[in-house]
């Protein structure tokens, strides 16, 4: 699964399940899946995946894996299953395939593998995007949990992918801690 991991520089972290709460948290391990027919055929350079990798690195996460695949629902679903079931990524970001063209099937593939849906992430991303463009209304990305991994569908445009991730990032570390078994109360003291 490793494709040149990048190390954290800042403080976005999640504790390992079962760790002592006083232990230092480790960086969030992310995987980036670019979904693009043209990109997978070598007809387009992937700009969204590298833009997300840079953003993650700048925000203290490490990229444990990255790949580009065609807009094929079974391939997308299989990759999401393999990456989340391997346990090497806390967070999987998909980029591309969330629009309304006939080949945009990333949300369907994601729904096929999720154990639980988290609609608030998708709602927050669309709300943030609507402040910039009315085309956000046709974004179909979904977000949720498979095993102990959070999966977020992001748009295919590099700028939109990063903007959508920024819109929800404040909640990602907390969500990951909870997904991975943190028993502490959510209320601030």
**So what's the pLDDT on residue 8?**
38
pLDDT band at 14 (very low <50, low <70, confident <90, very high): low
Does the residue 6 lie in any domain? no
Does the residue 4 lie in any domain? no
Residue 182 has what DSSP assignment? -
CATH of the domain at 157: 3.40.980.10
Does the residue 9 lie in any domain? no
Does the residue 143 lie in any domain? yes
Segments forming the whole domain that contains residue 158: 26-179
Q: Is the dihedral of CA 68, 112, 100, 75 positive or negative?
A: positive
Does the residue 11 lie in any domain? no
- How big is the chain, counted in residues? 189
Does the residue 125 lie in any domain? yes
CA angle 62, 46, 146 (to 5 degrees): 50
Does the residue 5 lie in any domain? no
Give pLDDT tens digits for 79-103.
999 999 999 999 999 999 999 999 9
How many domains does one find in the chain? 1
Does the residue 155 lie in any domain? yes
């Amino acid at each position: 699964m490793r494709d040149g991991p990048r190390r954290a520089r800042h403080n976005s972290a999640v504790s390992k399940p079962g760790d002592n709460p006083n232990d230092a948290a480790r960086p969030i391990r992310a995987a980036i899946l670019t979904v693009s027919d043209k990109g997978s055929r070598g007809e387009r350079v992937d700009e969204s995946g590298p833009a997300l990798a840079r953003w993650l690195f700048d925000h203290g996460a490490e990229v444990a894996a990255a790949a580009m695949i065609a807009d094929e629902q079974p391939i997308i679903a299989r990759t999401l299953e393999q990456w989340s079931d391997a346990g090497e990524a806390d967070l999987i970001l998909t980029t591309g395939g969330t629009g309304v063209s006939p080949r945009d099937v990333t949300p369907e593939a994601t729904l096929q593998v999720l154990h639980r849906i988290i609609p608030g992430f998708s709602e927050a991303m669309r709300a943030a995007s609507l402040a910039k463009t009315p085309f956000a209304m046709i974004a179909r990305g979904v977000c949720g949990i498979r095993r102990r991994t959070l999966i977020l569908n992001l748009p295919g445009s590099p700028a939109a992918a990063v903007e959508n991730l920024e819109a929800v990032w404040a909640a990602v570390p907390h969500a990951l801690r909870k997904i991975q078994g943190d028993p502490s109360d959510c209320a601030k003291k």
